[in-house]
């Protein structure tokens, strides 16, 4: 069984509650071909108190920068920033792998306020 499909050990609700997952709207998107795996650089508006944060996402199979602006996504906003090549990614944009391992963004069914927290 691949690592992605393994069920992880149980965690407590307190552990889960420490992960800050919020909704945001993509306000800018541009190609990032210099990354080891082709990616798209995103600027996502999470509203107050988080603000606009940057993310590099390996989502080039199904998405182009033009189709992403205005789309709502959700991301982990309380991981430490991570250097991705020359780009500092501040949040982890969330998605799921398809059968070929390509990332499909998680979808928000109806528009929600930027900064809304997953619970």
User: Cα separations (Å) of 16 from 10, 13, 76, 116, 118?
Assistant: 10, 5, 12, 16, 11
Q: For residue 8, is pLDDT > 80?
A: yes
Q: For residue 1, is pLDDT > 50?
A: no
Which among 95, 111, 105, 108 has a CA at the least distance from the CA of 4? 95
pTM of the model: 0.91
Instruction: Go through the domains of the chain in sequence order and give each one's CATH number.
Output: 17-105 (2.40.50.140)
Q: Which residue has the higher pLDDT, 64 or 8?
A: 64
């Amino acid at each position: 069984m691949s690592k992605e499909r393994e069920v992880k050990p149980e965690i407590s609700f307190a552990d889960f509650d420490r992960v800050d997952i919020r909704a945001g709207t993509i306000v800018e998107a541009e190609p990032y071909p210099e990354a080891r795996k082709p990616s798209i650089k995103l600027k996502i508006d999470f509203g107050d108190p988080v603000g606009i944060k940057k993310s590099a996402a390996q989502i080039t199979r199904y998405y182009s920068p033009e189709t992403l602006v205005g789309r709502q996504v959700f991301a982990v906003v309380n991981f430490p920033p991570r250097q991705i090549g020359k780009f500092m990614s501040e949040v982890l944009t969330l998605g799921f792998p398809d059968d070929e391992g390509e990332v499909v963004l998680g979808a928000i069914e109806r528009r929600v306020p930027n900064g809304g927290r997953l619970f």
